[in-house]
Structure formats: C-alpha cells, structure tokens
Amino acid sequence: MSETILSLKNIHKSFGSNEVLKGIGFELKQGEKIVILGPSGSGKSTILRCINHLEEFQEGEISFKGKKVSRDELNSLRTHIGMVFQRFNIFSHMTVLENIIEAPVHVKKMKKADAIELAEDLLKKVGLEDKRDSYAKELSGGQQQRVAIARALAMQPDIMLFDEPTSALDPELVGEVLRVMKAVADAGMSMIVVTHEIGFARDVADRVVFVDGGKILDDKPPEEFFNNQKNERIRSFLSKISLK
C-alpha cells in the first residue's frame, strides 16, 4: 500500500458560534482519489479550505507528508496543494498564459522561459493552446475552468483539491472539464474532489466520503457506497441529486 500524503484528525471549525466542522478526520494516500459528497452547507468547501489553510480551525490537526504544518510554512505548503474553485478565479488582468506562469515564476522562481514551456505543454493537455493570449472575459466557463486546472498543475503540486468545479457551468460545458479532471487522475495525481457528478465519482474515486452537518457519515469505495447504501439519509440525498 502506498504512503499517506495527507491526514486530517478531528478537525473542529466554527464561524463565530456556528460550528461547521464537528470532528472531521480522514487520510489521503499517495495517488488516491477521494470524492466528497454532501448537501449544500454541510461543510465540504470548509474542509478543502482548511486543508490548504485558507481557513483557520480551532481544534484538530492536519499533516502533510507526515508533518504538521506550522504557521510560517503556509505559503510553502500551498505550493504543494493545487486548488480549483467553483468560480474559476482566473486573474482578470492577465492573459491565459500569464495566469499559468504567474506562480511558477514569482513564487517558485522558475525561469520564465521554462515556465512558458511548461504552460504551453499544459495548455495542450487541457486543449486550449490557441487561447494562450486570451483574457478570462473572452472565454467560456468551461474554458476558464480548464485554464484554472492548468494554472494549478503548473505548480507541480502533490495534491489537487477541486471545489465543485463544474457547478457553475452550463450543462453542455461540464463534460469537457470532467474529461480534463479524469486525465489528471489517470496521470496519478492525488485528488480530493467535491462534486455532485455521480458518474465521475463512480468512475474515478477510490473512496466516497459523505459529509452532513459537519460530520462524516460514510467513507467507502464507490461500488459499495452507491450500490449497497444502507443509510437512509444518504439514500435520499442520492435520489435527489440523480433526479437533476
């Protein structure tokens, strides 16, 4: 079995008096893909945001490659964890190419020529080599999200986090983004994906984690999770999202 790359232990997180995460714990192994499912407001985004410390949490521990992350290593940790957002967040004042080389050049101090070479290679992989000089406002949502994936991959991270990457997309654009994510998965990336795309979960996930009310209700491989689901609450959730 491969080694654990990320582990969450008993994470508690409150916004003011509202406790949003009530003891979240799981492990991600090298190359493993976890899909997180759960109703809106259950704390899925908050889990991802705690993992790369965009949110602080009050209790519990997150370790990366066996080491607890200290406050002054945050920026360095984030270079190892790529994140893709629901709303793409492409830097609006930069071209596609500039978006992708920004962090490699300014954070990782990669030579610009090397970064451009890397970016062009990634643009080919996400099928956007002809858009390298476009701005976000000239691209469709699906294209923007593929740029966002390329931008995160350009840091050559160890883990990729996806927070409902297709939820803001028109239905006809979902497929192109899922295909790119599938390719990233097939290349061996360790991934945590929050999504309502059951097909993707069945196809790609090694484990499905179900979150409700800030707690993990279930955590098992997709065949078992979908085909042999005993929990009434989860069954009703699954029937609701498959109706959409």
Partner 1 sequence: MIVDYSVVINKLPYLLQGAAVTFYISVLSLILGLVCGILLALMRDAKNPALSKFAFVYIWIFRGTPLLVQLFILYFGLPSLGMSLSSFQAAVLGLGLNTAAYVAEIIRSGIQAVDPGQREAAKALGMSWGLEMRRIVAPQAAKICLLPMVNQFVATLKNSSIVSLVTVAELMRVGDQIIATSFNAFSVYTSIALMYLIMTSVFMVLSNVLKRKLV
Question: Which stretches of the chain bind partner 1, using CB under 8 A?
Answer: 52, 54, 75-79, 81-83, 85, 87, 89-93, 102-103, 106-108, 148, 151-152, 155
All residues at 6 or more sequence positions from 127 whose CB lies less than 8 Å from its CB, including other chains = 146, 176, 180
- Is 45 or 144 the residue whose CB approaches Mg ion more closely? 45
- Is 98 or 176 the residue whose CB approaches partner 1 more closely? 98
Q: Which of 6, 37, 43, 88 binds ligand ADP (CB under 6 A)?
A: 43
Q: E-assigned strands of the chain?
A: 4-15, 18-29, 33-37, 59-64, 67-68, 81-84, 159-163, 190-194, 207-212, 215-220
Contact criterion met (CB below 8 Å) for 26 and 205: no
Q: Is 239 in the site for ligand ADP (CB under 6 A)?
A: no
Q: Which of 33, 45, 143, 212 binds ligand ADP (CB under 6 A)?
A: 45
Torsional sign, CA 219, 225, 230, 232: positive
- By CB under 5 A, name the binding residues for Mg ion: 45
- Is 45 or 195 the residue whose CB approaches Mg ion more closely? 45
Q: Which range of residues in 38-46, 69-77, 100-108, 132-140 is near ligand ADP by CB under 6 A? A: 38-46
Q: Is 17 in the site for ligand ADP (CB under 6 A)?
A: no
DSSP assignment of 107-135 equals TS---HHHHHHHHHHHHHHTT-GGGTT-B
Helices 96-106 and 112-125, packing angle to 10 deg: 130
Q: Which of 28, 46, 85, 234 binds ligand ADP (CB under 6 A)?
A: 46
- Is 83 or 155 the residue whose CB approaches ligand ADP more closely? 83
- Is 44 or 131 the residue whose CB approaches Mg ion more closely? 44
Q: In what order do the strands lie in the sheet with 33-37?
A: 81-84, 159-163, 190-194, 33-37, 207-212, 215-220
Which residue's CB comes closest to Mg ion?
45
- Is 20 or 97 the residue whose CB approaches ligand ADP more closely? 20
Contact criterion met (CB below 8 Å) for 116 and 151: no
Q: Which of 20, 90, 119, 178 binds ligand ADP (CB under 6 A)?
A: 20
Residues that bind ligand ADP (CB under 6 A): 15, 20, 38, 40-46
